[in-house]
């Protein structure tokens, strides 16, 4: 499976060259001050506010790096992911891939970027077209990106299926999604994401709908793929316990902003932001002691994104809130410790 075996259509830049110059210091994806606001319209045309789903996100992703984005529902991680995938247009800010801007482009300009990003979804059955067999499903991305030779496509499919360990390959080609188990379906989704030899994988809760024993299998597979192809991975989840196995860095999101960024071990052993601490405290390990104690949970609910609280978004629920500061000024990203950033006034 060499890179040259697949001819991809490029519009403006020749990416295949940069494969040889890979170092993990090179930035693959650069997200700058990204804002994505959904416009609310009453009666279809009267403007009545914005849902500020992503409100100022910055980060760099290097080649071969894996990061985990953790947060509860409504924190904006799904919207962030969709913007990175190019399914949404940001209202402010930019996304750069290998130095080229990829946000807010039209469909044809985006095409080269789409062949570089693989998307793995949460629901493995829903992610596969029920009326297509596995061969057709895996061929689709290649057909769209202009791989005209059917033999080449079949060869690539064989390689991919072998790599995701679906043996015997020929049997699986003819199967339809409903004939596969949950784990096999998710493997197919992963295979489809890999078929165009992407450099970045975006995985949205890839194992949350699978059984416990299968979850590990899939996570292992993703780990292996990442290592052998030097893929950058963005892993999005609300389950902190899985993110450790998969990501080197973790970003914690709350109400549209990233509130903490750190290496995995550092974050888990030394969480700084009060919200991160609450999340860790609330995530159980299988331990009998859990049944004997009440967990401390910050009161209230995540805020509305239409009218978020002033200042730090977490301040209404924060036990360590500083009056006059946290409720007035939005905290910037502060490097509290080397390579450990947090958006909290406590660390100013």
- Binding residues for another protein, rule: CB under 8 A, are 72-73, 85-87, 107, 110-111, 114-115, 117-119, 121-123, 126-131, 140-141, 144-145, 181, 189, 192, 196, 211-217, 219-220, 238-242, 244-245, 268, 278-288, 290-291, 294-295, 297-298, 301
CA 226 – CA 233 distance, rounded (Å): 7
How near is the Cβ of 197 to another protein at its closest, in Å? Answer: 12
How near is the Cβ of 304 to another protein at its closest, in Å? Answer: 11
How near is the Cβ of 20 to another protein at its closest, in Å? Answer: 25
> By C-beta, is 48 or 304 nearer to another protein?
304
How near is the Cβ of 294 to another protein at its closest, in Å? Answer: 5
- Longest CA–CA span in the chain (Å) reads 67
CA 190 – CA 122 distance, rounded (Å): 11
> By C-beta, is 37 or 275 nearer to another protein?
275
> By C-beta, is 161 or 188 nearer to another protein?
188
> By C-beta, is 87 or 306 nearer to another protein?
87
Pairs from 279-287 (Cβ < 8 Å, separation ≥ 24):
279/70, 279/72, 279/240, 279/252, 280/240, 283/239, 283/240, 283/241, 285/241
CA distances from 62 to 28, 174, 276, 294 (A): 5, 38, 24, 41
Check if the beta carbon of residue 183 is closer than 8 Å to that of residue 204: no
CA 211 – CA 204 distance, rounded (Å): 16
How near is the Cβ of 328 to another protein at its closest, in Å? Answer: 25
Exposed (0-12), middle (13-18) or buried (19+): which is 284, by Cβ within 10 Å? Answer: exposed
How near is the Cβ of 17 to another protein at its closest, in Å? Answer: 22
> By C-beta, is 56 or 182 nearer to another protein?
182
> By C-beta, is 47 or 294 nearer to another protein?
294
Check if the beta carbon of residue 326 is closer than 8 Å to that of residue 311: yes
């Amino acid at each position: 499976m060499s890179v040259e075996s697949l001819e991809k259509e490029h519009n403006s830049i020749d990416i295949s060259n940069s494969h040889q110059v890979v170092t993990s210091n090179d930035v693959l994806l650069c997200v700058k001050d990204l804002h994505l606001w959904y416009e609310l319209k009453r009666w279809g045309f009267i403007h009545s506010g914005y849902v500020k789903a992503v409100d100022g996100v910055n980060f760099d992703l290097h080649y071969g790096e894996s990061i985990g984005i953790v947060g509860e529902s409504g924190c904006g991680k799904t919207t962030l992911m969709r913007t990175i995938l190019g399914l949404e247009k940001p209202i402010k800010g930019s996304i750069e891939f290998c130095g080229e801007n990829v946000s807010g482009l039209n469909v044809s300009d985006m095409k080269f970027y789409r062949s570089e990003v693989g998307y793995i979804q949460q629901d493995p059955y829903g992610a596969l077209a029920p009326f297509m067999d596995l061969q057709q499903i895996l061929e689709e991305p290649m057909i769209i990106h202009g791989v005209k030779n059917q033999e080449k496509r079949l060869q690539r499919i064989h390689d991919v299926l072998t790599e995701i360990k679906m043996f015997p390959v020929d049997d699986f080609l003819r199967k339809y999604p409903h004939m596969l188990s949950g784990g096999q379906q998710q493997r197919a989704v992963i295979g489809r994401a890999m078929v165009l030899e992407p450099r970045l994988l975006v995985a949205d809760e890839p194992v949350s709908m699978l059984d416990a024993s299968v979850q590990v299998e899939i996570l292992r597979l993703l780990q292996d793929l990442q290592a052998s192809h030097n893929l950058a991975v963005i892993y999005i989840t609300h389950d902190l316990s899985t993110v450790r196995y998969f990501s080197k860095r973790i970003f914690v999101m709350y109400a549209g902003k990233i509130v903490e960024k750190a290496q995995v071990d550092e974050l888990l052993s030394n969480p700084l932001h009060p919200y991160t601490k609450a999340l860790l405290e609330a995530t159980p390990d299988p331990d009998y002691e859990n049944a004997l104690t009440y967990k401390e949970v910050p009161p209230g609910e995540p805020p509305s994104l239409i009218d978020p609280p002033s200042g730090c978004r977490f301040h209404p629920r924060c036990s360590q809130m500083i009056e006059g500061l946290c409720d007035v000024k939005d905290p910037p990203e502060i490097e509290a410790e080397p390579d450990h950033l947090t958006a909290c006034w406590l660390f100013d």
